[in-house]
Structure 1
Amino acid sequence: MAADDQAMTFEQSVQAAIELDAPLNERLGVIAAAVRRLNSEFADAVERLVDRLEKQGAGTMAPTAGEAMPGFLLPDDDGRLVSLAEILAKGPAIITFQRGHWCPYCRLNAIGIVEVQREIAELGGQVIAIMPERRKFAKAMKALVGAQFPFLIDMDNGYALSLNLAIWVGAEMERLMGLGLDIPNYQGNSSWFMPIPATFHRRNERDHYGSLRRSGLPPPHGHRRPDRGAQAGSLTPKDDQSAALSRFSSVVATGARCRPATA
């Protein structure tokens, strides 16, 4: 590790990760290293949380490729109710779950999507982010990353729970995160439940969906184990729309710095 890295504050490390010209996992590694360097107690607690969740099989019951995706009706960052059917009527969609504006991993992941949002749109696709925070914080997240796509508000993690994507962080993480983060204020409740970040795609209302990326069990703040590998979607390039969706799915799954091969 360079001497300059050792002297960085956490926010400086996050900014360095954002500016790094590298794949998403490498940029996330910069943040993970900063957490370990600056707060080893927190990093150790995160490892214990991840180990506990893995032993309990958290996230393993979440939908997989080919299963039906439940509909939803959620408010967006402007307060307008948006349904899954309405989204899919406009074309194929990437649907990504984020923990919140406070989470540096989520911020970096959203920025990675923003870096390719124009390419996704040109390919006929759209992006929808879902997060369990009050509207003003969702708007802040959208503005912070420069997103042109909507952020939907999943209050109390209702939709994430229906997909088996929500976890309780545990008493130890409540204590440590509560030292610097007001999660109950951000979420409007004191449950300390959070979604497991995951990304899915849908072509249309009749189509079942595929999981593009399940991030293993990403811990709740500023630290992330490497991806266990992307799960392939159920699409085949039988027509131009499928080929285009496969391509923009690959763009999102691999990150802005890793350009996929032409579909």
Structure 2
Amino acid sequence: MTLQDRLDALKADFEGGKFAYKPGPDVLDTMHRATSELVASGQALNARKAGDKAPEFALKDPDDHVVSSVELLAKGPLVVSFYRGVWCPYCNLELQALQAAASAIEARGASVVVISPQTAPNSRKSQRDNQLTFPILSDEKSRVAAAFGLRFSLPDYLVELYKGFKNDLPTFNDDPAWVLPMPARYVIGTDGIIAYAEVNPDYTQRPDPSELLPVLDKLRTNAVA
């Protein structure tokens, strides 16, 4: 089953009322409206894309160690995924899919990091719950997400809905702003140039990590040539 198959099943179960929380039509309409408006804004089209220089970053992992993109790229290509947070079931399915592909990615000489606005304790919970071997880095105030063109502000009506869900982003992220990164995945070559970019303002739509492997193979072939 592909990642998208799992995401589609999750969405169908949620919208079909198969969870303890059963959303009414008004809740679903609000969620669909927010996604549609973000898609229509065109912000995803202005995010960093293949061929662009990737912003450099140095962020702390849950153990308070600084992880530098420059240092990682000195060792090989870098896979970067932007993660909304421990509270997002769609994001957690993606983390699990990335973990399943991690050995194949690392076998191609690449590293994997995930970037999230959430605090270190929440990242530790994400790593534990999803049994991750790669780090989730804390992006304070979503500054790195902004550098990639991914940070957006939630509309007021969605903020109110999230509060009803107990998705208190200011607490999760230690940031009073109600902002999130659009889900995105990048492959960055050792030259710092983005070789692959997938940005989708619809958080229920995400590519399978298997798509990264041909990109990494091509980078390795080019490095040898």
Report the TM range for the smaller structure's normalisation: 0.7 to 0.9
- AA aligned opposite 2:187: H
Cα separation, partners in 2 of 1:175 and 1:26, compared to 1, 3 Å: same
CA distance in 2, matches of 1:150, 1:231: 18
- Equivalent position of 1:58 in the other structure: 43
Greater RCO, CA 8 A, separation 6+: 2
Contact 1:100–1:133 (8 Å) recurs in 2: yes
- Equivalent position of 1:195 in the other structure: 181
CA distance in 2, matches of 1:238, 1:137: 34
Cα separation, partners in 2 of 1:191 and 1:23, compared to 1, 3 Å: same
Query: Residues 111-126 of structure 1: matches in 2 within 5 Å?
Result: 111-126=96-111
- Equivalent position of 2:19 in the other structure: none
Contact 2:104–2:213 (8 Å) recurs in 1: no
Contact 1:211–1:232 (8 Å) recurs in 2: no
- Equivalent position of 1:29 in the other structure: 8
Contact 1:213–1:231 (8 Å) recurs in 2: no
Cα separation, partners in 2 of 1:152 and 1:238, compared to 1, 3 Å: closer
Deviation at residue 157 of structure 1 after TM alignment: 0.5
Cα separation, partners in 2 of 1:182 and 1:241, compared to 1, 3 Å: same
CA distance in 2, matches of 1:45, 1:242: 48
- AA aligned opposite 2:97: G
Cα separation, partners in 2 of 1:31 and 1:61, compared to 1, 3 Å: same
Deviations 1:160-185 (A, max 9, x none): 01111011121111111111222211
- AA aligned opposite 2:202: P
Deviations 1:203-259 (A, max 9, x none): 21x241123422x2124xxxx2576xx79998783854769xxxxxxxxxxxxxxxx
Query: Residues 49-198 of structure 1: matches in 2 within 5 Å?
Result: 49-179=34-164, 180-198=166-184
- Identity across aligned pairs (percent)? 24
CA distance in 2, matches of 1:232, 1:57: 28
CA distance in 1, matches of 2:65, 2:139: 13
CA distance in 2, matches of 1:231, 1:63: 17
CA distance in 2, matches of 1:66, 1:191: 31
Deviations 1:24-45 (A, max 9, x none): 1111011111232231332211
Normalising by structure 2, we get a TM-score of 0.86
Cα separation, partners in 2 of 1:156 and 1:25, compared to 1, 3 Å: same
Contact 1:64–1:211 (8 Å) recurs in 2: yes
| Structure 2 alignment gaps of length 5 or more | 17-21
CA distance in 2, matches of 1:67, 1:233: 19
CA RMSD of aligned residues (A): 2.4
Contact 1:210–1:233 (8 Å) recurs in 2: no
| Structure 1 alignment gaps of length 5 or more | 1-21, 244-263
